[in-house]
Structure 1
Amino acid sequence: MSLPLGVILAGGQATRMGGGDKGLRQVAGRPLLDHVIVRLAPQVGGIALNANGNPSRFAEYRLPVIADSLPDWPGPLAGVLAGMDWAAKQGADSVVSVAADTPFFPHDLVAQLQAAAGPSGLALAATREGGKLWRQPTFGLWPVALRDDLRAALIGGLRKVVLWTDQHGAGTAEFGTDPFDPFFNINTPEDIAVAEQIAGQA
């Protein structure tokens, strides 16, 4: 099975961190983006960064920087759509999304998403806690053939990822949470301290 392309979703406004780019905050001596790229690069055929505003702040990464194609911060699905459009231009069939503020996602994320994909080719990552399944909507496998459907849904006001993925029969790739939650994401300055502890185990 061929490797999909990868898109790192870094378009959020980071309001709980006081604004700015969460992906450039330091954990274990390196920016979050460094951790994310190191994990993602072996799993995909190429990487783009979804971010809005001046792309020059990411110049050192030498990655394509793609902005949301829809206005007014419509959420992570807009970044997914930007990644799907970019992947389509590269001739790829699919793109995998990961979040810039989640540095410890699984090393076999892509393989497990591909194995779990539903008939449409869609899959979301998930974990289970207390018997409840928690889907991770920013970690998914997205077939580029559905990009116009997603664009129409977003223009129509859809914002909740799982409402759209459920419509298309997305599969679920379930990951364990021992010894840590691989989808722990950094939203507050206090979360950085937690991430520093996880970094020693990841």
Structure 2
Amino acid sequence: MSAPLGVILAGGRATRMGGGDKGLRMVGGRRLIDHVIDRLGPQCGAMAINANGDPARLSEFGLPVVADSLADHPGPLAGVLAGLDWAAGQGATAIVTAAADTPFFPKDLGARLMASAGPSGLCLAASPDETGRVQRHPTFGLWPVALRDDLRAALTAGLRKIVIWTDGHGAGQAVFDSTPFDPFFNVNTPEDIAAAEALMGAA
């Protein structure tokens, strides 16, 4: 299987950050999305950014910007669908997604997701929390283009929770180590920016 295309999910409204584009917030002297592009780029083929609103604000990254095709911000699954529709136009068979506010995700994310994919080709990333319980990170996944119309139908019918849909298709799970910290740490609040700054040296 050839390398999947990459899609950075940046379509959220960042309400806990006071609105705006979380991916453009500075951490470690660079924007969050710069860190994400650097990590995802070597793991995939072409990349695109899923974001809503005026795409010109992201033009400097030189990547296609694909907006949700469904109205009213139905959540990350709509971003996945937008990425799948874009990938279909590129003749690709799958995409790997990463959230724009997560600067430390694994550099072998794509390969591990592909190795652990279920029969449908779906796979989600996961990692143990502080209690040792494995938690899924559904914005980090491998998604086959062949399921995009099924996903579109589910979203149109009102489905919003990612794992309900992925469980229904027998998604695999790739579990990543959380030592010395969870690589899927994401920046949701101003306090998280300070935490991310502190983690930069250990990443």
Give yes or no for TM over 0.5. Answer: yes
Residue 189 of structure 1: aligned partner: 190
Query: What displacement does 1:131 show?
Result: 3.6
Residue 170 of structure 2: aligned partner: 169
Residue 201 of structure 1: aligned partner: 202
Residue 126 of structure 2: aligned partner: 126
Work out the percentage of aligned pairs sharing the same amino acid.
71
Deviations 1:87-134 (Å, cap 9, x if unpaired)? Answer: 111000000010000110000000000000000000000012324220
Distance 1:155 1:133 in 2: 30
Query: What displacement does 1:54 show?
Result: 0.2
Distance 1:53 1:158 in 2: 23
Matches within 5 A, 1:66-81: 66-81=66-81
Residue 52 of structure 2: aligned partner: 52
Distance 1:171 1:198 in 2: 29
Distance 1:131 1:196 in 2: 25
The change in CA–CA distance for 1:131 and 1:201 in structure 2 (over 3 A counts) is: closer
Q: Which runs of 5+ in 2 are unaligned?
A: none
Query: What displacement does 1:59 show?
Result: 1.1
Moved more, 95-104 or 128-137: 128-137
Residue 18 of structure 2: aligned partner: 18
Matched, 1:29 2:29: yes
Helix, strand or coil at the partner of 1:95: strand
Deviations 1:24-82 (Å, cap 9, x if unpaired)? Answer: 00000000010000000000001000000000101110100000000010000000000
Helix, strand or coil at the partner of 1:13: coil
Residue 153 of structure 1: aligned partner: 154
How many correspondences in the alignment?
202
Distance 2:46 2:105 in 1: 17
Distance 2:89 2:165 in 1: 23
Q: CA RMSD, aligned part only? A: 0.6
Give the aligned residue type for 2:101. Answer: D
TM-score by length of 1: 0.99
Matched, 1:89 2:89: yes
Runs of 4+ in 1 over 2 A off after TM superposition: none
Query: What displacement does 1:22 show?
Result: 0.2
Give the aligned residue type for 1:37. Answer: I
